[in-house]
Chains A and B, each alone.
Chain A
Amino acid sequence: MKLFIALKSAAIRSSKLWKGILIVWFSTLLLVCALAIPMKGALNSGFGRSMITEKLADGINVEVFADLGATLKSLISYFSTGFFLLILTAFLMNTFFSGGLFNSLKGSSGKFSAGEFFRASAKNFWPFLVISLILYIIVLILAILIIAVPVAMVSKADVPSDGAVFKTCIIVVSIFLLLLTILFLVADYARAWQVTKERNACFKAIGFGFSQTFRTFLSSYLLMIILLVVQILYGWLVLSILPGMKPVTGGGVFLLFLLSQFLFFIKILLKAWRYGSVTSLMEQNSEKVL
């Protein structure tokens, strides 16, 4: 019952937060465009007045891109460097905005204020950054221990067994995903707790995250599984819609752009729903304790 109350409450809270989500969406779009638009210009320049782009009507054509020659090499170099910087910047930006999102999702008063959103984002930036970094490090270590080491051992065996690498990959990735769900809970509880505190207490927050996760493991884990399953299903839906769309007119491309941005907006909304659900569950649990 607690689960459904949390999910319902979070759905209401996150929908009230649509302006905040709009801010996150727009910021992400600007950031990504900073990399993508120059690439578009370079591609147009590379193709010049050629009609070879006809061969892109059905999607990516490796021969067309290969014929770009030196332009392609420059583009790959630009994209790989740019993408690294993009991820770094996006990490900082998401850390920043998650402070505002968590703050807006706490309690049930629910009136969104942009000023308050940015204030909370700025206030929680450093503790959220530390929380995120520590959890990323834990994720990385887990990935090495649970995925990389066993797979490397199996694949480098003196006598490799047929299918062993494949089976090992499936098993270890499954284990990793199950553990990752716990880490999501820890991260969300830690951040939901942090926004309720006046002072920066990121390590305490992580401690709270772990204790809250394991204290209410069954309900918390089930909640996170439901949320992640919904997100995965949504991801699958997006993947089955967007890549297959191949508009051939300028208007069609614009509609594709609008649709893709709408789908991304929903994706952020779903993440806010996750944050709100964990926050709501934490609040219910703390009321019970009181």
Chain B
Amino acid sequence: MNRVPTRRGELHHTIKNNYIMMKKILIYLFAWLITVPTVKSQIINKVPLSARQTYYNIDANLDILSKIVKGEMETYWVNKSTDIVPDVQLHLYLNAFRNSRTTFNKESGSSPAYNKSDSGWIDIITLTDWDGKDLIPGMQYISPDDGNSDDMTVLKINLPKAANPGDTVFLKINFESKLPSKIIRTGNTDDYYFVAQWFPKFGVYEPAGMRYATKGGWNCHQFHRNSEFYSNHSVYDVKITVPKEYVVGSGGMLMAEVDSDTEGKNKTLTYRAEDIVDFAWTAWPGYAVFTEQWEHVKITLLLPKERIDQVERQFTAVKNALEYLTKNVGPFPWPHLTFVDPPAKGSGAGGMEYTTLFTSTSFTGIPDFLHLPEMVTIHEFGHAYFMGILASNEFEEPWLDEGVNSFWEERIMDHYYGENSGMINHPLLKVADKSMSRLSYINSDSRQAVSNAENSWNYPHGTYGMMSYNKTATWLYTMMGIIGEETTNEVFREYYKKWAFKHPSGKDFVSVVNEVVTRMNGDKFGTDMNWFFDQTLYGTGLCDYKVANFYNNKLNLSRRNINGGDSIDKKLSDGDSLYKSVVELERVGEVMLPVDVLVHFKNGDEVHESWDGKSRFKDFVYTGARMIEWVKIDPEFKIRMDVNYINNSRTSDPDRVPVRRLTDKLISFMQFFINFISL
């Protein structure tokens, strides 16, 4: 812990009298000259994108025999709050794989760590401040989430002297990270390495008023089964030493590559990454490397040589995502991006995101009509925005990254790969990407068990994925249906503008929605959109609107007897019959949303009605010479939260042809099938 100017002055004074102290000063000055200017130097971006509250300089050496990464790390955290902070807290995620009693393994329901050689851990070998003072006695493993004393994924270091506002806490840590042999986001199998969550990483200090903090404190959660991460945007200078035959990919920009020994057996690669929330890397001799350029971004793809036929579709997917998100959310600020399609033996590393490095998922021989690789690539790339740039707390508000990102993934997929074929595009079956989210939500038996506003590890009954990804995407689509596509895009542009490289919370997102919607639409949707979020984000109710009935009653009245009927057809002739036509609508679910209603008459007339959707039932009455033929609630299917579209419409003459056609085809299929399987 050092407060730079004061400390430097003090040490200048001491140097006159004490040679040892002078040595310390020289070390300190060296560190200051090297470290601080490095952080301030603009190697990648002209101006810092983030506050850069933390910095990591790591020298890592991969020992392929022991599967251990030995690291020497110099790091700091700047106390930018007005609090006096007595300790720092760091994540040691790899300790989640240390034994079967960790919170991660307990929540997994089984132990992925089969025996000692399979387990993973991170050991602090030495821990000092810049004065060389040993901080190990001040180390303490804590379990802020569940009090599990066997969990060692959060390390608290009591500082010899509390960090005052503006102080910088420097740490020098030598550590050893043993990678688990069953890859669960991180680990190694055979000669394949995916090295993530591998170094001690600061939690986020949240002063009072930041997000939901009522008083200052570290936000440093344990590693959970159903959770991801929360970190400050940092600068990383990382040297990685690996055997020479290994191909390395990382979230940094490659600055140098040199032989690290005279025999030429090993090489050292130097990477720099700026303003990202995590640094991960991968090493495997079997990677084929491809690069392409999209505007200012150099994109690098690493994948097994057997999947070279998928290079084009992977690049196309990531470029589509770059284009769409740049246009509708904000620019991708980094000039480099690396993504990895792991081999089968590294499949456990697939589908993860580390901002400028992400992993996709595919397999050899995957057919073109199945857009799984594109979906994963676009989803994981999207995380560069939704928690990479907009660094929300994934532990506490998983919907804000996973749900929002799923919403954008589905929009991108259905935009570029077909409105109804984003996921599967086969002549026999087309499935939109957005359909899967809605299906997962509406078909879940536990869809009302909990709201979205829940810590990720607290979602009950296996609802984490359904709630954080699918329900969120579904209500975001519903929101877009209500406020319109352009307003939705403007919401996200504003959200980006206001919160990029900061730590937005759910309430910050809601504030942006309220601000933009009222700016663009006045009070069309009320003074704010809280009524929407109270029901969808914070509520557990279901949305279901229904056309209960409609009927046409012939009236025994002449035109002259009708007084002030506001729906009377003015084109009536004397010979026309008069009808009182009534549409009966019902709100079956608890959620109240404004809905459009389309009434179609047998003479071809159509009437568009708006219903605020608040009352339990609503009737529309028409008097005239026309009879209602059919009625639709939400004819454009904007309210994707509606759990039953079937009861959204009603007609006097239902079209049975599609069912007949389906039955015909089913009959043929079964006939051919039983003929096929008989000898």
B 437-454 to A, binary, CB cutoff 8 A, 1 in contact else 0: 011001100000000000
Which residues of chain B from 349 to 377 have a CB within 8 Å of any chain A CB?
363-365
Report whether B344 and A56 are in contact in the complex, using a CB–CB cutoff of 8 Å: no
CA distance A11 to B438 in the complex (A): 54
Residue from the list A44, A95, A164, A264 in contact with B672, Cβ < 8 A: A264
- Chain A neighbourhood of B648, CB < 8 A: 50, 52
Known: A32-B670, A44-B656. A256 touches B678 (CB 8 A): no
Report whether A243 and B428 are in contact in the complex, using a CB–CB cutoff of 8 Å: yes
- Chain B neighbourhood of A64, CB < 8 A: 645-646
Task: Quote the shortest CB–CB distance from A34 to chain B (angstroms).
Answer: 10
How many chain B residues have a CB neighbour from A under 8 Å?
Answer: 60
Task: Quote the shortest CB–CB distance from A195 to chain B (angstroms).
Answer: 15
Q: Which of A86-94, A117-125, A196-204, A210-218 contacts B (4 or more CB under 8 A)?
A: A86-94
- Chain A neighbourhood of B306, CB < 8 A: 162-163
Report whether A68 and B646 are in contact in the complex, using a CB–CB cutoff of 8 Å: yes
Minimum CB distance partner of A244 in chain B: B427
Task: Quote the shortest CB–CB distance from A47 to chain B (angstroms).
Answer: 6
Which residues of chain B from 408 to 458 have a CB within 8 Å of any chain A CB?
420, 427-431, 435, 438-439, 442-443
Which residues of chain A from 218 to 249 have a CB within 8 Å of any chain B CB?
235, 238, 242-244, 246-249
- B4 interface hit (Cβ, 8 Å): no
Residue from the list A29, A51, A91, A271 in contact with B649, Cβ < 8 A: A51
- Chain B neighbourhood of A257, CB < 8 A: 664, 667
Report whether A67 and B659 are in contact in the complex, using a CB–CB cutoff of 8 Å: no
Which residues of chain A from 100 to 129 have a CB within 8 Å of any chain B CB?
none
CA distance A244 to B654 in the complex (A): 24
- Chain A neighbourhood of B427, CB < 8 A: 243-244
Residue from the list B344, B643, B654, B678 in contact with A49, Cβ < 8 A: B654
CA distance A174 to B170 in the complex (A): 64
Known: A63-B435, A66-B443. A28 touches B675 (CB 8 A): yes
Task: Quote the shortest CB–CB distance from B77 to chain A (angstroms).
Answer: 40
- Chain B neighbourhood of A162, CB < 8 A: 286, 304, 306-307, 343-345, 363-364
- Chain A neighbourhood of B566, CB < 8 A: none
Report whether A253 and B657 are in contact in the complex, using a CB–CB cutoff of 8 Å: yes
- B571 interface hit (Cβ, 8 Å): no
- Chain B neighbourhood of A76, CB < 8 A: none
- A290 interface hit (Cβ, 8 Å): no
- A69 interface hit (Cβ, 8 Å): yes
Report whether B655 and A51 are in contact in the complex, using a CB–CB cutoff of 8 Å: yes
Report whether B650 and A50 are in contact in the complex, using a CB–CB cutoff of 8 Å: yes
- Chain B neighbourhood of A256, CB < 8 A: 661, 664-665
Which residues of chain B from 628 to 666 have a CB within 8 Å of any chain A CB?
630, 632, 643-652, 654-666
- Chain B neighbourhood of A49, CB < 8 A: 650-652, 654
Report whether A63 and B675 are in contact in the complex, using a CB–CB cutoff of 8 Å: no
Tell me which of A36, A56, A165, A256 has the highest count of chain B C-beta atoms within 10 A of its own C-beta: A36
Report whether B189 and A59 are in contact in the complex, using a CB–CB cutoff of 8 Å: no
Residue from the list B345, B439, B632, B649 in contact with A161, Cβ < 8 A: B345
Report whether B646 and A47 are in contact in the complex, using a CB–CB cutoff of 8 Å: yes
- A83 interface hit (Cβ, 8 Å): yes
CA distance A149 to B636 in the complex (A): 51
- Chain B neighbourhood of A95, CB < 8 A: 678
Report whether A94 and B678 are in contact in the complex, using a CB–CB cutoff of 8 Å: yes
- Chain B neighbourhood of A68, CB < 8 A: 646
Report whether B668 and A264 are in contact in the complex, using a CB–CB cutoff of 8 Å: yes
Known: A47-B654, A53-B654. A250 touches B660 (CB 8 A): yes
Known: A36-B663, A40-B660. A67 touches B364 (CB 8 A): no
Report whether B665 and A243 are in contact in the complex, using a CB–CB cutoff of 8 Å: yes
Report whether A36 and B678 are in contact in the complex, using a CB–CB cutoff of 8 Å: no
Known: A60-B429, A67-B644. A50 touches B654 (CB 8 A): yes
Known: A159-B345, A264-B675. A53 touches B190 (CB 8 A): no
Task: Quote the shortest CB–CB distance from B652 to chain A (angstroms).
Answer: 7
CA distance A250 to B653 in the complex (A): 14
Residue from the list A51, A249, A260, A267 in contact with B654, Cβ < 8 A: A51
- Chain A neighbourhood of B562, CB < 8 A: none
Minimum CB distance partner of A89 in chain B: B674
Minimum CB distance partner of B675 in chain A: A267
- Chain A neighbourhood of B668, CB < 8 A: 242, 260-261, 263-264
- A78 interface hit (Cβ, 8 Å): no
Report whether A83 and B670 are in contact in the complex, using a CB–CB cutoff of 8 Å: yes
- Chain A neighbourhood of B431, CB < 8 A: 62
CA distance A187 to B677 in the complex (A): 13
B 290-311 to A, binary, CB cutoff 8 A, 1 in contact else 0: 0000000000000010110000
Task: Quote the shortest CB–CB distance from B530 to chain A (angstroms).
Answer: 29
A 155-192 to B, binary, CB cutoff 8 A, 1 in contact else 0: 00001111111110000000000000000100110000
Residue from the list B643, B646, B676 in contact with A52, Cβ < 8 A: B646
CA distance A152 to B190 in the complex (A): 20
Residue from the list B651, B666, B679 in contact with A39, Cβ < 8 A: B666
- Chain A neighbourhood of B663, CB < 8 A: 36-37, 39-40, 43
- A33 interface hit (Cβ, 8 Å): yes
- A130 interface hit (Cβ, 8 Å): no
Which residues of chain A from 249 to 282 have a CB within 8 Å of any chain B CB?
249-250, 252-253, 256-257, 260-261, 263-264, 267-268, 271
CA distance A20 to B25 in the complex (A): 103
Task: Quote the shortest CB–CB distance from A165 to chain B (angstroms).
Answer: 8
Task: Quote the shortest CB–CB distance from B638 to chain A (angstroms).
Answer: 14
Minimum CB distance partner of A190 in chain B: B679
Task: Quote the shortest CB–CB distance from B392 to chain A (angstroms).
Answer: 30
Minimum CB distance partner of A183 in chain B: B679
Minimum CB distance partner of B306 in chain A: A163
- Chain A neighbourhood of B670, CB < 8 A: 32, 35-36, 83, 86
Report whether B671 and A32 are in contact in the complex, using a CB–CB cutoff of 8 Å: yes
Known: A48-B654, A52-B648, A59-B428. A163 touches B365 (CB 8 A): yes
Task: Quote the shortest CB–CB distance from B350 to chain A (angstroms).
Answer: 12
CA distance A129 to B293 in the complex (A): 66
Report whether B344 and A51 are in contact in the complex, using a CB–CB cutoff of 8 Å: no
CA distance A95 to B656 in the complex (A): 36
Known: A39-B666, A51-B650, A52-B649. A267 touches B672 (CB 8 A): yes
CA distance A243 to B672 in the complex (A): 13
CA distance A271 to B647 in the complex (A): 47
CA distance A2 to B28 in the complex (A): 97
- A153 interface hit (Cβ, 8 Å): no
Report whether A184 and B675 are in contact in the complex, using a CB–CB cutoff of 8 Å: no
- A132 interface hit (Cβ, 8 Å): yes
Task: Quote the shortest CB–CB distance from B581 to chain A (angstroms).
Answer: 16
- A57 interface hit (Cβ, 8 Å): yes
- Chain B neighbourhood of A271, CB < 8 A: 675
- Chain B neighbourhood of A247, CB < 8 A: 657, 661
CA distance A81 to B276 in the complex (A): 54
CA distance A246 to B427 in the complex (A): 11
CA distance A164 to B304 in the complex (A): 12
21 A-B residue pairs with Cβ-Cβ distance under 8 Å, sorted by A, are: A40-B663, A48-B654, A50-B648, A51-B630, A53-B659, A59-B429, A61-B420, A66-B439, A67-B643, A67-B646, A68-B646, A87-B674, A162-B364, A163-B365, A235-B676, A242-B665, A243-B428, A247-B661, A250-B660, A256-B664, A271-B675
A positions within 8 Å CB-CB of B: 28-29, 31-33, 35-37, 39-40, 43-44, 46-54, 56-64, 66-69, 83, 86-87, 90-91, 94-95, 98, 132, 135-136, 159-167, 184, 187-188, 235, 238, 242-244, 246-250, 252-253, 256-257, 260-261, 263-264, 267-268, 271
Which 7 pairs show the lowest CB-CB distances between chains A and B? A163-B364, A56-B658, A90-B674, A51-B649, A94-B678, A260-B668, A40-B663
B positions within 8 Å CB-CB of A: 189-190, 286, 304, 306-307, 343-345, 347, 363-365, 420, 427-431, 435, 438-439, 442-443, 630, 632, 643-652, 654-668, 670-672, 674-679
Extra 12 A-B pairs, beta carbons < 8 Å, given A60-B662, A162-B363: A46-B646, A52-B646, A58-B420, A62-B435, A66-B442, A91-B677, A160-B347, A166-B365, A243-B428, A243-B665, A260-B665, A264-B672
